[in-house]
Amino acid sequence: MVWTAIIIAVAYQFFVILPAIVVHGMMPDMSIIVLSGIANVLTVMAVYGYLKVQGVADEVAEPGDMNLIVVLIAVAAAIVAIALTTFLAGLLATMFGPQGLSVSDGFTHQLQTASRAELFFTIVLVAPFAEEFIYRGLVMGVLLARGWAPLPAAGLSAVIFALQHIQYGWIGILVVLVYGVMLGLLRVASGGLFLPIMAHFFINLISLTM
């Protein structure tokens, strides 16, 4: 099941991006950002269905602690993570040049042409839920069940998570790696996905408004 989880996690972005590109080619008036969000939802539903057949869906999707305190912790974690990664990105850009902060032209165009509502739907609402389910739920869940310690499990899931964000430069990928490790540790600390989903939600929300 470990290799199955890793293969699904690695292929996940292809399941999202390729259908969105194909549909956008046939229906160019539809925002590719929205299409990506819809493809995200359908992909997670398909993976959940597969896991349900395997009898492990409930364990993968375990929410853990769910209360107001957890939400407040998520807000604090998001603020700390953004402050830390902003400092790290600035330091690395100063040392090695700003090229590492570059974003692909295609992704920049998608962001610039999408409406705020479309960005909110895909980046703030859908992405945190979908990505946490895949990386912290499926990948980390399988690794922890196989006896992996929390930090290595969080680290491996974070590496896969970061490498899926190739639209960013190398500094951006490192930033995503830091986020991934933090979200993985939050998953362990809270016993499930609710806390990392909420922290991811606030990270994306704050980043979108900056």
- The residue extents of the domains of the chain are 2-209
CA distance 103 to 122: 18
Q: What is the pLDDT of residue 73?
A: 97
Residues of the chain with pLDDT under 70: none
Q: What is the pLDDT of residue 197?
A: 98
Angle, helices 32-54 vs 105-113, to 10°: value is 100
DSSP structural state of residue 29: T
Q: How far, in Å, are 47, 60, 134, 147, 188 from residue 51 at the CA level?
A: 6, 8, 11, 20, 20
The model's pLDDT over 24-67, given as tens digits with 9 standing for 90+, comes to 889 888 889 999 999 999 999 999 999 999 999 998 999 999 99
